[in-house]
Chain A
Amino acid sequence: MSVPQIAKKEQGFRVTLEKRGTTPYLIHFLVPVSSVVAALLVGAIFLKATGHSPLEIYAMMFNGAFGSMYGISETIVKAIPLMLTGLGVSIAFRMLLWNIGAEGQLYMGAFAASWVALFAPDMPGYIMLPLMFIAGFLGGALWGLLPAIPRAFLGVNETITTLMLNYVAILWVDYLVYGPWKDPKGFNFPLTAPFRDSASLPTFGNSRVHLGLLFALAAVVIVYVLLKHTRWGYEIRIIGESQNAARYAGMNIGKNILLVMLLSGGLAGLAGMAEVSGITHRLQHGISSGYGYTAIIIAWLSKLNPWAIIIVSFLFGGLLVGGFSIQTSGLPSATVFMLQGLILFFVLGGEILTRYRIKLQRGRK
């Protein structure tokens, strides 16, 4: 579409954004990739400014995360909760429900699973683990349902409520591990007594990679099949695309908000269960290093595609592990969170390029 200019006296260019009719597939791939590259470049400026060699640091991170079997196994360990929370968040985002509460849902899942492990410790593993699994899922699901109810019936903005409930969940777990559930033999550390072996998820070989990996991969397949091949998944997609069309087709939007938030929270809850049962073997202060927030970046980078979530989670797991390995060079591991923030910033900013194209116009400024 050409835009004729009325006056052409002045010189120079005008930059305008023009809506794309359709977005080429390549753009959907190129934009997030170049966003990540741009984030790393900006990150390099910071590293340089603090007197480090960006290349060296990035190489060190890469080696730490992917350079050895140990590194890779640790990266997978981190990828497990990221995958589960990322999937949970993505299915809510599908319906334009901005669930920022995966962190809290993870904590509540960890809490519920720990409760089973601590207060019914005598069960054999084959009963204990499924029960913890169910408890973890339910803990997260109910925590997700809580903000869904006012959203479905009163239209209360879920972005804020899910976010606020994170603090409640984190402080609730803190209350338990500093107070009534504190391990009397724990030298006053904020943690519960260790679980019995029956409450620990089996691991692969002598790595820390635990059965949670299978939960996460199975969840990916289930979410994919659900969205693509079932009536409910179809409803979720339609509601996400066009609420008007969904209402017109007789879909119950309120009911779907409740169900989707249950599933979304449940998946995050499973991540919490997997953490306590597979990694820490007890409930403790700070069981999640912000997995629920990183999940938002992962969901966005993956374009809500379940398969892409596997890959992106693995890369972000690597980023976390790489972050630990650069601490020896005197950089704080918080550098990693800065990089994550930059990546999200660029990905969200780059989003506009998938919907608009930049156009230079000769003529007036």
Chain B
Amino acid sequence: MADSTLVSMRGITKTFPGVLANSDVNFEAKKGEIHALLGENGAGKSTLMNILTGLYRPDEGEIWIKGEKVVFRSPKEAIAAGIGMVHQHFRLVQPFTVAENLILGSPRPGRILNMKQVEKEITSISKKFGLEVDPRAKIWQLSVGEQQRVEIIKMLYRGADILILDEPTAVLTPQEVKELFKTLRMMADEGRAVIIITHKLHEVMAVADRVTVLRGGKYIGTVNKKETTKQELTKMMVGREIELSSNQDDYNPGEDVLILENINALNDKGYPALKNVNLTVKEGEILGIAGVAGNGQRELAEVVTGLREIQSGTLKINSKQYCNCSPLEIIDAGVAHIPEDRLGMGLVPSLGAVENIMLKEYRKKEMNKGLFLNHKLLKKKTGELIEEFGVKTASIDSPVKLMSGGNLQRLLIAREISCQPKFIVASYPVRGLDVGAIEAVHRILLEQRKAGAAILLISEDLEEIFALADRIAVLYEGEVMGVIRTSETTVEEIGLMMAGSREGEKVS
């Protein structure tokens, strides 16, 4: 092993009940480099880094730090080995000062505190790396950018030479991002290894030396930035070479069903997630939303289903305004929703099939007998739907969490389709499904299109989008980069737009 290798993780495998989060992943970081760990949400980046920082233990695999094999039993041991991590959510004590936060949990100051000494050290670190911050300021008085600086100083103060930053730019303004990248470069130049976890390609191109790509928990490869392009990285992140099998022979769209005009919305952290989004979906068409996950797709799905507040702009369904309506009003407008999070949102895991099938229709008069639910009818309906959609279940009363992913999705789609929707929002409808289930889901969506439903299909799989969508819109950092007819575009063009260039633009 070369001397310059600080971290080497080999064959790391980690499973959580029912999820293979990392499967035989290799990762290496050298002295003096900025190494980007790239992958979509859920690709296993955070799991891998949580293993490196001692938060999780790998099921299999080895970790070597500075040429020595280590087994971390706790984050404390990882810190002692020189590993420091800045989490996406800062771990700072709000009412404490910067200096007080720094010595928290650190053995360095000894039993008798000399705050002046600590403060002096902070000042010298911050001067050296351009991390300006007042050691006596209380955390709550600081901006998010400043708090991040405190976290970085904290790592340096503890003597970390392997620095991990989880999505460090998510909370920063463009100017702050520039400053941060400068600091990172300085730290690397001093002989540290800097690892940034990200799913943003332009950041990788701007700051990284090498890039390791993960996809679906698997190791895809490590490349030098100089020898790669955004397109190649996109391909590595999103999937294999894509075969086109467009089947848009009978494209006769009708009226506009969904109209979004200048929609702005915030994400859960309160930062803009959708910026002036304009989209329409017509009767009998599938509009595919392409883009690397985490660029506003979830927020888009939630806005059109009434689950997320609209800051400004208008949402029309069948030419009626539905701005900031309750989810119930939107359901009543004939909108079906196949959400991203099947078990967390679309279904109630501990209840049976009947109680999940009735989730949206239990209010209807025909499902009730006066004051009481008509259990007989609901049971009959569930039986019919299970039959029709080929859901395999031990019994209709056993909790649905025992079903496989494919059956869960069939059950969910059965319920949503049975309401005869005019408009369907499908978020990652085949994620994690086997081939048979994927085919079934695609067939159902195409049938609905034929029957005249308007469908918004959000997917990270370009193959799926090219196969199903009549038109494709690309989301990038909350903005629509362009909307194109599927038959008039190529994977390359969509790939460029996914990397941030607008329709018709060339990427440098």
Contact = CB atoms under 8 A, between A and B. Distances in A.
Interface of A: 1, 3-4, 6-7, 19, 21-22, 225, 229-231, 234, 237-238, 241-242, 244-245, 247-252
A155 to B, nearest CB: 15
A252 B327 CA distance: 9
B372 A7 contact: no
B362 A242 contact: no
B349 A230 contact: no
Interface string B303-343: 00101000000000000000000111111100001010100
B379 to A, nearest CB: 13
Contacts, number: 77
B402 interface: yes
Contacts of B344: 242, 244-245
A44 to B, nearest CB: 37
A242 to B, nearest CB: 5
Contacts of B339: 248
A19 B348 CA distance: 19
A250 B60 contact: no
27 contacts: A1-B17, A4-B59, A6-B58, A22-B399, A229-B373, A229-B375, A230-B371, A230-B372, A231-B373, A234-B362, A237-B351, A237-B355, A238-B351, A238-B355, A241-B350, A242-B344, A242-B345, A244-B341, A244-B345, A245-B346, A245-B359, A247-B327, A248-B307, A248-B327, A248-B337, A249-B360, A251-B328
Nearest to A244: B345
B72 to A, nearest CB: 11
Given A4-B59, A6-B62, A251-B328, 6 more contacts: A3-B59, A4-B60, A231-B363, A241-B350, A249-B327, A252-B326
Contacts of B328: 250-252
B99 to A, nearest CB: 32
Nearest to B307: A247
B167 to A, nearest CB: 23
A249 B359 contact: yes
- Band of interface residues on B: 35 or more
A246 to B, nearest CB: 8
Contacts of B355: 234, 237-238
A218 B337 CA distance: 41
B307 A6 contact: no
Contact of B346 (A7, A241, A248): A248
B358 interface: yes
Interface of B: 15, 17, 58-60, 62, 71, 305, 307, 326-332, 337, 339, 341, 344-351, 355, 358-360, 362-363, 368, 371-373, 375, 399, 402
B347 A245 contact: yes
Contacts of B375: 229
A242 B348 contact: yes
Contacts of A231: 362-363, 368, 373
Contacts of B331: 249-250
B241 to A, nearest CB: 35
- Which of A230, A231, A249, A251 has its CB near the most chain B CB atoms (within 10 A)? A249
A234 B373 CA distance: 9
A154 B487 CA distance: 50
B458 to A, nearest CB: 16
B176 to A, nearest CB: 31
A3 B60 CA distance: 8
A293 B359 CA distance: 35
Contact of A21 (B17, B62, B372): B17
Contact of A6 (B71, B337, B373): B71
Contacts of B307: 247-248
Given A1-B15, A244-B345, A250 B351 contact: no
A242 B349 contact: yes
- Which of B341, B351, B402 has its CB near the most chain A CB atoms (within 10 A)? B351
Given A22-B399, A229-B375, A250-B360, A245 B345 contact: yes
A4 B61 CA distance: 10
A250 B337 CA distance: 12
B346 to A, nearest CB: 7
A128 to B, nearest CB: 30
Contacts of A252: 326, 328
Nearest to A20: B17
B18 to A, nearest CB: 8
B351 A241 contact: yes
A7 B327 CA distance: 53
A248 B327 CA distance: 7
Contacts of A249: 327, 331, 359-360
A66 to B, nearest CB: 36
Contacts of A3: 59
A237 B348 CA distance: 10
B396 to A, nearest CB: 16
Contacts of A247: 307, 327
Given A234-B355, A238-B359, A248-B346, A7 B337 contact: no
B473 to A, nearest CB: 24
Contacts of B368: 231
A250 B327 contact: yes
A229 B71 contact: no
Nearest to A232: B371
A257 to B, nearest CB: 16
A263 to B, nearest CB: 15
Given A238-B359, A247-B307, A22 B326 contact: no
Given A229-B375, A234-B355, A247-B307, A19 B71 contact: no
B373 A230 contact: yes
Contacts of B15: 1
A225 B348 CA distance: 21
Name the 4 nearest CB pairs between A and B, nearest first. Answer: A250-B328, A250-B327, A244-B345, A229-B372
A4 B305 CA distance: 45
Nearest to A235: B362
A152 B351 CA distance: 25
A225 B345 CA distance: 26
Nearest to A6: B71
A270 B138 CA distance: 51
A321 B492 CA distance: 80
A259 to B, nearest CB: 15
Nearest to B398: A22
Given A6-B71, A22-B402, A230-B373, A241 B327 contact: no
